[in-house]
Amino acid sequence: MKKCGACGSWILMGGKTDGEAHYCNARCLQQGVLLKRSRELPAALLQQKVNEVHDGLCPKCHGSGPVDVHVSHRAWSALVVTTWSSRQRVCCQSCGTRDKLMDIATTLLLGWWGIPWGLLITPIQIGRNLVGLTRPPDPSRPSLRLENAVRMHLAMAALSSAAQPADRKAA
């Protein structure tokens, strides 16, 4: 059995292949290509860009930083259907706190209504947000999550600029 090179899931049947690497679907294949490209980035460029983002303005509210990756969690249910998700946002501490509080409120109102998963997942997602509120990223230095987000953004920009036709690059 093969393991996905992007998300780590086990691939039971099918999947996508890129040389020696295996991926569970086209989305993970795209992530794998980005990961491969991101490992080729110069360390000095990466560190410079990470520091620029960390010390820059918040992309969400345009307020002062420090900026980092903040994760919020939510759940909603309707009878026999329950969905839950986690969202990563590059933003300042106050925007990250606001996202967590909004997801706590959303989950409190809409998470309980599914049997059995809503009753189980709702307290977990609320707890994850509460832990995130008490343990925000260290404002004195960029987190590894921010470094990975910037790395993937730079890799995506490098791949898209390499894919442009030569006549558009010259313009």
d(CA 25, CA 30) in angstroms, rounded, equals 9
Q: How far is CA 36 from CA 91, 92, 94, 125, 160, in A?
A: 26, 29, 33, 32, 14
> Cβ of 170: how many Cβ atoms within 10 Å?
6
Asked if 107 contacts 122 with a C-beta cutoff of 8 angstroms, the reply is yes
User: SS3 letters for 125-137?
Assistant: HHHHHHHHHHCCC
List, for residues 66-78, the tens digit of each pLDDT value. 999 999 999 999 9
Inform me whether the pLDDT recorded for 17 exceeds 90.
Answer: no
* Mean pLDDT taken over the chain: 89
pLDDT tens for 62-116 read 999 899 999 999 999 999 999 999 999 999 999 999 999 999 999 999 999 999 9
Residue 4, phi then psi, degrees to nearest 5:
-65, 130
Residue 140 amino acid letter: S
Q: What is the pTM of this model?
A: 0.79
Q: Where are the domains of the chain?
A: 2-40, 43-160
| pLDDT, position 63 | 94
Q: How would residue 165 be classed by pLDDT, with cut points 50, 70 and 90? A: low
Peptide bond into 116 cis (omega under 30): yes
